[in-house]
């Protein structure tokens, strides 16, 4: 993948189809368009449809989010190295896509994440400890999605796209769509769903079926694809020969590509798509064009399949640096502000380390808990047998001790 020095990823020549010359009737692809409101250097960009609407305070808050979610990530990686976590899926490089879209959500909107949306989790108010419970192996999830309108992580690629669409169909049945965005409430009376998935996930049948369902039922769902250019070791070309946001055209709803490293653009584009959903205009596919700057997970070794130079090029488009530059230049943010955020990050890091290290293991009989909502004879029997089996060791140990 070529990346121009000016960071205009959208202008980068898109990988052509593996085939030879275009045949008769092959439509040439239009040049991909990318919504960007801040350049990598932090310069604001004019856009015909989208504008920076945030106050200085709001942008500071977004900056804080970006820094803190990156810190969560950094701490997690080192905790994994120390054996405190079993694995970690890093969001490094994708903070803007996650914070931008996450902060665009209204309180009643429901988010369906994959396994990498720690930044969205943060925006929804989920305590990072919940994520660490999962990655430590203490739980397979365990939080209540209703608490923060943030569904459980889904590990089987693409499955949650259908859950999100079904949930959106429920919103329709509840009569919670169709509010006028031009009305007094600015469309905020509506509810919508956002479904997160990666570039690789677009190849799954389930994601495409979700597109069909959402389109046919005109469901209020925003499909938010973080195209981080890689699905583990496979570059985007293994999943698609055209830009991913074009996929939506085949299903009859709009697709838009946004600079996924631009938190303001991600927020604006998501907000607009949500408002269309609130207003009964149905689904939108957003492709956040970004980059997975770290390994796929802590068990992955990206040196086997990608060049360091690619990473270096993307470092120039860091999602945090451009906001920092913009805050300094446009809103006079000073060293004190940045220090304060860094302090907060340090505190967060300290809390994470402390709480993760002291996180207790679940008791063995929790295996049998919460499988069924109603009594289940077999499970009860297995539980009792296993409890008795464990007790038999206690007896033996006691005997030995006596």
Ligand X SMILES: Cc1ncc(C[n+]2csc(CCOP(=O)(O)OP(=O)(O)O)c2C)c(N)n1
Query: Which amino acids are annotated catalytic?
Result: 292, 296, 305
For other proteins, how many residues bind (rule: CB under 8 A)? 79
Dist. CA 21–CA 16, nearest whole Å: 10
For the chain, give the secondary structure using H, E and C: CCCCCCCCHHHCCCCCCCCCCCCCCCCCCCCCCCECCECCCCCECCCCCCCCCCCHHHHHHHHHHHHHHHHHHHHHHHHHHCCCCCCCCCCCCCHHHHHHHHHHCCCCCEEECCCCCHHHHHHHCCCHHHHHHHHHCCCCCCCCHHHHCECCCCCCCCHHHHHHHHHHHHHHHCCCCCCCCCCCCCCCCCCCEEEEEECHHHHCHHHHHHHHHHHHHCCCEEEEEEECCEECCEEHHHCCCCCHHHHHHHHCCCEEEEECCCHHHHHHHHHHHHHHHHCCCCCEEEEEECCCCCCCCCCCCHHHCCCHHHHHHHHCCCHHHHHHHHHHHHHCCCHHHHHHHHHHHHHHHHHHHHHHHCCCCCCHHHHHCCCCCCCCHHHHHHHHHHHHHHHHHHHHHHHHHC
Applying the rule CB under 8 A, the residues between 193 and 212 that interact with other proteins are 200-201, 203-206, 209-210, 212
Q: Is 171 in the site for other proteins (CB under 8 A)?
A: yes
- Residue from 44, 106, 145, 252 in contact with other proteins (CB under 8 A): 145
- Residue from 106, 141, 166, 178 in contact with its own copies (CB under 8 A): 178
Q: Quote the least distance from Cβ 151 to ligand X, whole Å.
A: 16
Q: Quote the least distance from Cβ 235 to other proteins, whole Å.
A: 9
Q: Is 228 in the site for Mg ion (CB under 5 A)?
A: yes
Whose Cβ is closer to its own copies: residue 23's or residue 363's? Answer: 23
Query: Which among its own copies, ligand X, other proteins, none contacts residue 253 (Cβ within 5 to 8 A by kind)?
Result: its own copies
For binding to ligand X (CB under 6 A), which residues are involved? 116, 155-157, 197-201, 228, 230-232, 292, 296
Query: Which among other proteins, its own copies, ligand X, none contacts residue 362 (Cβ within 5 to 8 A by kind)?
Result: other proteins
CB 244 within 8 A of CB 202: yes
Q: Is 159 in the site for other proteins (CB under 8 A)?
A: yes
Whose Cβ is closer to its own copies: residue 79's or residue 168's? Answer: 168
Whose Cβ is closer to ligand X: residue 95's or residue 199's? Answer: 199
Q: Quote the least distance from Cβ 345 to ligand X, whole Å.
A: 23
CA distances, 273 to each of 50, 253, 304 (Å): 12, 11, 38
Residues 6+ apart with CB under 8 A from 312: none
- Residue from 31, 56, 216, 387 in contact with other proteins (CB under 8 A): 216
CA distances, 96 to each of 65, 174, 331, 333 (Å): 9, 32, 19, 19
Applying the rule CB under 8 A, the residues between 230 and 249 that interact with its own copies are 237-242, 246-249
Q: Is 140 in the site for other proteins (CB under 8 A)?
A: yes
Q: Is 115 in the site for other proteins (CB under 8 A)?
A: yes
Query: Which among Mg ion, other proteins, its own copies, none contacts residue 228 (Cβ within 5 to 8 A by kind)?
Result: Mg ion
- Residue from 198, 220, 260, 319 in contact with Mg ion (CB under 5 A): 198
Q: Is 371 in the site for other proteins (CB under 8 A)?
A: yes
Whose Cβ is closer to ligand X: residue 37's or residue 91's? Answer: 91
- Residue from 25, 332, 336, 375 in contact with its own copies (CB under 8 A): 25
Each residue 187-226 as x (binds its own copies by CB under 8 A) or -, in order, gives: ---------------xxxxx-xx--x--xxxx--------
Q: Is 26 in the site for its own copies (CB under 8 A)?
A: yes
Q: Exposed e or buried b for every residue in 236-251, given b needs 16+ CB within 10 A? A: beebbebbbbbbbeeb
Whose Cβ is closer to ligand X: residue 209's or residue 344's? Answer: 209
Whose Cβ is closer to other proteins: residue 354's or residue 372's? Answer: 372
Q: Give the binding site for its own copies (CB under 8 A).
A: 17-27, 29, 49, 178, 202-206, 208-209, 212, 215-218, 237-242, 246-254, 256, 272, 276, 279-282, 284
Q: Give the binding site for Mg ion (CB under 5 A).
A: 198-199, 228, 231
């Amino acid at each position: 993948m070529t990346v121009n020095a000016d960071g205009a990823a959208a202008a980068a020549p898109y990988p052509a189809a593996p085939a030879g010359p275009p045949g008769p009737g092959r439509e040439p692809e239009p040049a991909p368009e990318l919504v960007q409101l801040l350049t990598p250097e932090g310069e604001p960009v004019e856009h015909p449809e989208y504008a920076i609407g945030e106050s200085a305070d709001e942008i500071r808050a977004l900056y804080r989010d970006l820094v803190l979610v990156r810190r969560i990530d950094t701490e997690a990686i080192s905790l994994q190295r120390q054996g405190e976590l079993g694995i970690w899926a890093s969001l490094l490089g994708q903070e803007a896509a996650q914070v931008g879209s996450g902060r665009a959500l209204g309180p009643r909107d429901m988010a369906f994440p994959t396994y990498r949306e720690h930044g969205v989790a943060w925006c929804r108010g989920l305590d990072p400890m919940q994520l660490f419970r999962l990655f430590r192996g203490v739980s397979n999830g365990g939080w209540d999605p209703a608490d923060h309108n943030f569904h459980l992580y889904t590990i089987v690629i693409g499955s949650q796209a259908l859950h999100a669409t079904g949930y959106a169909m429920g919103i329709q049945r509840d009569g919670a769509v169709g509010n006028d965005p031009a009305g007094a409430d600015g469309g905020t009376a509506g509810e919508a769903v956002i479904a997160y998935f990666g570039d690789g996930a677009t190849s799954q049948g389930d994601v495409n079926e979700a597109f069909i369902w959402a389109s046919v039922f005109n469901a209020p769902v925003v499909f938010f694809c973080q195209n981080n250019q890689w699905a583990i070791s496979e570059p985007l070309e293994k999943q698609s020969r055209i830009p991913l946001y074009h996929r939506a055209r085949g299903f009859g709803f709009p697709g838009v590509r946004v600079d996924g490293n631009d938190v303001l653009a991600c927020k604006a584009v998501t907000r607009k798509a949500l408002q269309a959903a609130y207003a009964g205009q149905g689904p939108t596919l957003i492709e956040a064009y970004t980059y997975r700057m770290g390994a796929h997970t802590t068990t992955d070794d990206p040196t086997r399949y990608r060049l360091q130079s690619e990473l270096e090029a993307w470092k120039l488009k860091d999602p945090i640096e451009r906001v920092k530059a913009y805050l300094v230049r446009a809103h006079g943010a000073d060293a004190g502000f940045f220090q304060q955020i860094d302090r907060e990050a340090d505190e967060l890091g300290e809390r994470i380390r402390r709480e993760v290290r002291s996180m207790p293991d679940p008791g063995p009989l929790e295996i049998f808990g919460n499988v069924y909502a109603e009594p289940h004879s077999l499970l009860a029997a297995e539980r009792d047998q296993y409890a008795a089996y464990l007790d038999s060791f206690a007896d033996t140990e006691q005997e030995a001790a006596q």
